[in-house]
């Protein structure tokens, strides 16, 4: 395996399962010092179990609710302490609640938007100072083809992922001159 992330300090959200877990394990395998963050403690334990023992000293897991700004602040602070700075933020955390739009409870709509879109914003806002300070900061935000094409029963998910796309473009334009 290459070591192209050797010395890179990384936070991956959604690292307790699925694509986020796969990204975390791959970056770890390629030399990153990594904080794997997720709301699911059992999933984070599975991420640790999936990592080779020799790589685990470069891995820390932290439980986070990315839709809660206090949780994001606390976890970012703890991650920065462990990592000694930050070079890469990967926002892979996300949820889906499918329903007929006219039957979707407002609580489900708000939960999808708060995790997928607001959580991405909160992570970016919290990590930006450290990413800029690194001089080589990178943000990777996960979206979906649902942001571009319509899918039945997925109005909240599609709207949240379209918002992630717009947020990503805005952040890129706003911070490009700061090396992000």
Question: 35 near 79, Cβ under 8 Å?
Answer: yes
Domain spanning 9-178, CATH class: alpha beta
pLDDT in tens, 57-100: 999 999 999 999 999 999 999 999 999 999 999 999 999 898 99
Catalytic residue among 5, 153, 157, 175: 157
Question: 21 near 44, Cβ under 8 Å?
Answer: no
How many Å apart are CA 132 and CA 135, to the nearest integer? 6
| Whole-prediction pTM | 0.95
Nearest to 95 by CA among 35, 39, 171: 39
Instruction: Write down the domain spans for the chain.
Output: 9-178
Does the annotation mark 157 as catalytic? Answer: yes
pLDDT in tens, 96-133: 898 999 999 999 999 999 999 999 999 999 999 999 99
Percent of the chain with pLDDT over 90: 87
């Amino acid at each position: 395996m290459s070591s192209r992330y050797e010395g890179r300090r990384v936070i991956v959200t959604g690292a307790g399962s699925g694509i986020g877990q796969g990204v975390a394990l791959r970056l770890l395998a390629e030399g990153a010092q990594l904080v794997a963050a997720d709301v699911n403690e059992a999933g984070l334990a599975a991420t640790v179990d999936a990592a080779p023992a020799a790589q685990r000293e470069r891995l820390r897991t932290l439980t986070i609710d990315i839709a809660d700004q206090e949780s994001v602040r606390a976890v970012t602070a703890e991650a920065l302490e462990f990592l000694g700075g930050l070079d890469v933020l990967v926002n892979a955390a996300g949820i889906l609640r499918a329903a007929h739009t006219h039957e979707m409870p407002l609580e489900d709509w708000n939960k999808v938007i708060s995790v997928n879109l607001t959580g991405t914003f909160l992570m970016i806002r919290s990590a930006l100072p450290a990413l800029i300070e690194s001089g080589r900061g990178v943000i990777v935000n996960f979206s979906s083809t649902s942001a571009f094409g319509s899918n039945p029963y997925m109005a909240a998910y599609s709207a949240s992922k379209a918002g992630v796309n717009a947020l990503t473009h805005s952040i890129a334009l706003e911070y490009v001159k700061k090396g992000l």
